[in-house]
Structure 1
């Protein structure tokens, strides 16, 4: 666990500013290193500090790194340097050999900064999937960057003006922007991008883009499953390498159970102790997955810890806004997992593996219907639709994702234009129309139609859009803040770049067909994950947990007292009406589609109070609820 920060300042004082930021990042590591050249300083906060300059390496390059490289042996071999060299030094040597092109060669989770003192150039990069956070801002006479957004204010005199456009996306629960933050002058570096700073010239560019699937593929379903299993196993091994303090978060679903099985296999081959799995249970609630957890841990090769979920920890909701200046990790995210991470911390875990990412890459896309129709596979299209649960919903999806994309553009355009004239996309009804117009919210949230591109099917292209989804980066950053509170680093094998690239190269039918999703994973885990879990179709649903978080913050009573209503961003009466409808649906255990956007309204209001109004952090009793 580590953090990086740095300042380029025309007025000097860069070292003191960097030290202030690293001090504010001490929860990520109390050991501090700063390389200072007067107007430039870059620094690292970590549990242990490596040497800043590689022995015998380039004397003009200084590197600070948050993360790890998973293909370090391959890079070291290509460079011709010792394998024992640490990752930061390897990055310096790779930069010296390949210039900026070296970044695309790197595999792993990382955010780093290189100061090239000869060329007076700063180069920073973020990993391809955006697991590690990186924020930056142009200061009045300089540039500042850090692993956490709120510490940038300790490094430079930055404006706290709200970025209404991005906040509007949050209120719509449709985050599209990849580089914007709630602050007008602060940016995040998007995944798979690098940023170069030379004097006053700042350039951001993408260094990696997934390529269309190759023409040559394994011939059979079993070969696909075997190849996928090899990659996923390697992704798990890389994230456990050199660590004895690795646990796994086990929900009872297919994805996390697969990671537990492979982590147990890797640990067993190394002769280590049984892998430790941590599970959250909800006795008496519909989201409880205890029965599936039982199947996974039954053989005794896994050390299992179960923690009973408590009522929403609202203090963590306040923490996100007042401490981190963030816009709300949802109640079914970090606040729900807090007791689990606390248990892992108490057991000495420094890393936990998750099953995150399986849904994104392996669930598939309903645009496969359009692919089937355009290929003339009418029979397969009909079978797919008939095998889906709830035929009425399946027919509606078939029309939207199958027939409509094949309608000629000359017909689509006037229909889309008429739809926009009658109100366009359906925004949450409580967003004030004047605020929506002022922020161009409809245009912000508009996405291009899913059309075939060279080498891509519609379905595969749609899945690949997760790589450019702003919500993905926002979610990763919230999860990072949550785990760092407990001194734990979350690692996600399904977000290994090799796993993602192979998943995108799969035929569409290997992801989903009919009602069956994650087909390649289900076959790959045959004999490793119990069939009761491997073949299950349903998932736990945590609407009641999110609703508990809203109730903690005052529920319906709070709807009429939100500060953003007084600001003219939302209509409190419409919000209250939606809340009542949602409360009724949750009580009946029915689907509550407005719930995520309702949560966003409460979360943005917390941020507004903390940042814009500068209100003191409230105690639970002051908020109108009991802790």
Structure 2
């Protein structure tokens, strides 16, 4: 792994200088050097960061029999993939992941991508067929961007890599920006840059000349449902898959770390890692050492108790990072860095940057996380699915056991998804506003100009589930800003010399989630229902008690207050207003309320500040 770039000119040539200029934008990833390969009409490059034993000393790209590959990623079913390859193309057991991908592509062509279990973005130059192929793994955790300009195709791990190519303009796609401001991603493959596109997750893009086609090789909506319904049996199945996912992510040149909170997700990952016979693991946790630094001191105390109970149970070395003085900065200069060219801010970005630095200083190159464990939270649209599947007894029992009012649940989670058009019309009628679904800070003219309503209702190219609850889970992962936040955090980690790894985003775990029977994750208003059976086997009682959940909100609150002057400048002298995207009067009112102590506007202002910073520094 880590950063890849390519240039392809079907009617001309590509020089070493061309690919070197693209690789320059990815220097922050190349802790172990860089290499590139130049062919007559294509060039591929790679920034090295060797995190697995097999990758150490390897120079990518790799060329074999007319196939050149540059891989940002990791293969997690190495032995299964090797066994499936024919004898004359099977690398030895010590072969790198990239060399396995070369052998797989030589054997199966683009069909190889569906056989890969792991996280990856890969570019293949297929010289015999005269085509460039760019693929991205199912979880979407490795990004890949491209543009076609002046008869040439340019590809890179970062949008800044593509934008560095001559002729690729930085004009903003206002429609996509509107989607991002609302936290919804409707345009599959589009980015906030009009000239730049992204390879969708679970897909590959083929370039024959400058003509391109997108092929999906992984669609979770097509999976058969599991026949298992017993919660304990589901927990056992998940345990098996998570043990595989965690085990393969412990493959590292150095001692792996785990980012540990007191929640169920990261502690479950850490427990599975720590129980292995070959376990060698270190934990690092972000904590408020002074609980009074929080508005809710008890949640800070409970978090500390959970973390300490866990490391005592598993005898893990623990390093603490204090959040007492941490604040979320509105870092204007950061947006001049190519690796951060996205209109998002991560609330705990500054603390995470220091945590990654500490891991690197301790000699670590790999950090496991509990991120994406929210896939097991479930949602209340399961009630609608239960009724639609005629599981009336179970649906009624869950509704009555849920702590929310039954009337609210029936209207919002049973009738509304059953009759979405009618629900929308009733909502608009009650509010006397046909744009009531849009927040008042978004300018009505902008909504009309960008056809934002139509964009958000566009489902072309996305997975289409027959269950509302599972559609919601998919949309939360792939059609929200979640992957943007993850991408920004990953770039920060790579800059520090750390690769983050996420067992809950393993393909085997994802396919388990999307095949779960209706209502398995949520029962009677209790989220992670069957997951808690697994947690009960692995975690001490103090960790299982999540009665005082911990939030990082105080970091964002403090950051906005400490940067109040910057915030006020951003929303006073602003491109969002000049471009007619937001309503100035409403934003001024939000700012005034926030400065007077109203926290309701905090997250809106945080999102607007991120977009404004990006616009001013793009």
TM-score when normalising by structure 2: 0.89
The equivalent of 2:84 in structure 1 is: 78
Question: What is the Cα deviation at residue 170 of structure 1?
Answer: 2.2
Question: What is the Cα deviation at residue 362 of structure 1?
Answer: 0.8
Whether the aligned pair in 2 keeps the contact of 1:126 and 1:194 (CA below 8 Å) is: yes
- Alpha-carbon distance in structure 2 between the residues aligned to 1:416 and 1:182: 30
Whether the aligned pair in 2 keeps the contact of 1:173 and 1:600 (CA below 8 Å) is: no
Whether the aligned pair in 1 keeps the contact of 2:348 and 2:552 (CA below 8 Å) is: no
Whether the aligned pair in 1 keeps the contact of 2:26 and 2:161 (CA below 8 Å) is: yes
- Alpha-carbon distance in structure 2 between the residues aligned to 1:322 and 1:216: 45
- Alpha-carbon distance in structure 1 between the residues aligned to 2:57 and 2:448: 50
Matched, 1:368 2:375: no
The equivalent of 2:322 in structure 1 is: 308
Question: What is the Cα deviation at residue 595 of structure 1?
Answer: 3.3
Encode CA deviations 1:317-370: one digit per residue, 9 max, x unaligned.
Answer: 6314544352344342423422222221221221111111111x2111211111
Encode CA deviations 1:258-305: one digit per residue, 9 max, x unaligned.
Answer: 111112123xx11x5443333343632136322221221123611111
Q: Structure 1's 140 and 597: CA in aligned 2 closer, same or farther, altered over 3 A? A: farther
Encode CA deviations 1:229-278: one digit per residue, 9 max, x unaligned.
Answer: 11111111111124433111112111011111112123xx11x5443333
Q: Which of 520, 524, 527 does residue 537 from structure 2 map onto?
A: 527
TM-score when normalising by structure 1: 0.87
Deviates more, 1:58-67 or 1:23-32: 23-32
The equivalent of 1:403 in structure 2 is: 415
The equivalent of 1:427 in structure 2 is: 438
- Alpha-carbon distance in structure 2 between the residues aligned to 1:562 and 1:413: 33
Matched, 1:50 2:58: yes
Q: Which runs of 4+ in 1 moved over 4 A?
A: 51-54, 375-379, 411-421, 582-587
The equivalent of 1:41 in structure 2 is: 43
- Alpha-carbon distance in structure 2 between the residues aligned to 1:335 and 1:51: 33
Whether the aligned pair in 1 keeps the contact of 2:190 and 2:197 (CA below 8 Å) is: yes
Encode CA deviations 1:554-580: one digit per residue, 9 max, x unaligned.
Answer: 334543232322333222221121234
Q: Which of 235, 241, 246 does residue 236 from structure 1 map onto?
A: 246
Q: Structure 1's 317 and 296: CA in aligned 2 closer, same or farther, altered over 3 A? A: farther
1:273-312 → structure 2 map (5 Å cutoff): 273-281=280-288, 283=290, 284=292, 285=294, 286=296, 288=300, 289-299=303-313, 301-309=315-323, 310-312=325-327
The equivalent of 1:625 in structure 2 is: none
Whether the aligned pair in 2 keeps the contact of 1:330 and 1:546 (CA below 8 Å) is: no
Matched, 1:606 2:613: yes
Q: Structure 1's 6 and 53: CA in aligned 2 closer, same or farther, altered over 3 A? A: closer
The equivalent of 2:583 in structure 1 is: 571
Q: Structure 1's 366 and 36: CA in aligned 2 closer, same or farther, altered over 3 A? A: same
Deviates more, 1:594-603 or 1:508-517: 594-603
Whether the aligned pair in 2 keeps the contact of 1:166 and 1:177 (CA below 8 Å) is: yes
Encode CA deviations 1:107-133: one digit per residue, 9 max, x unaligned.
Answer: 101111111111111111011010111
The equivalent of 2:4 in structure 1 is: 4
Deviates more, 1:539-548 or 1:187-196: 539-548
Q: Which of 449, 453, 458 does residue 442 from structure 1 map onto?
A: 453
Question: What is the Cα deviation at residue 495 of structure 1?
Answer: 0.4
> Matched residue of 2:500: which SS?
strand
- Alpha-carbon distance in structure 1 between the residues aligned to 2:181 and 2:144: 23
Q: Give 5+ residue unaligned stretches, structure 2.
A: 50-55
Q: Structure 1's 176 and 185: CA in aligned 2 closer, same or farther, altered over 3 A? A: same
The equivalent of 2:401 in structure 1 is: 387
Question: What is the Cα deviation at residue 174 of structure 1?
Answer: 2.7
- Alpha-carbon distance in structure 1 between the residues aligned to 2:590 and 2:387: 39
- Alpha-carbon distance in structure 2 between the residues aligned to 1:66 and 1:226: 32
Q: Structure 1's 213 and 52: CA in aligned 2 closer, same or farther, altered over 3 A? A: closer
Q: Give 5+ residue unaligned stretches, structure 1.
A: 612-627
Encode CA deviations 1:36-76: one digit per residue, 9 max, x unaligned.
Answer: 0143100111035525587xx84211111111101121111
Whether the aligned pair in 2 keeps the contact of 1:7 and 1:155 (CA below 8 Å) is: no
Whether the aligned pair in 2 keeps the contact of 1:248 and 1:354 (CA below 8 Å) is: yes
1:215-254 → structure 2 map (5 Å cutoff): 217-218=227-228, 220-254=230-264
> Matched residue of 1:541: which SS?
coil
Q: Structure 1's 174 and 290: CA in aligned 2 closer, same or farther, altered over 3 A? A: same
- Alpha-carbon distance in structure 2 between the residues aligned to 1:377 and 1:117: 55
- Alpha-carbon distance in structure 1 between the residues aligned to 2:339 and 2:158: 8
Q: Which of 161, 173, 179 does residue 183 from structure 2 map onto?
A: 173
- Alpha-carbon distance in structure 2 between the residues aligned to 1:448 and 1:51: 41
1:48-197 → structure 2 map (5 Å cutoff): 50-51=58-59, 58-79=64-85, 80=87, 81=90, 82-197=92-207
Q: Structure 1's 233 and 557: CA in aligned 2 closer, same or farther, altered over 3 A? A: same
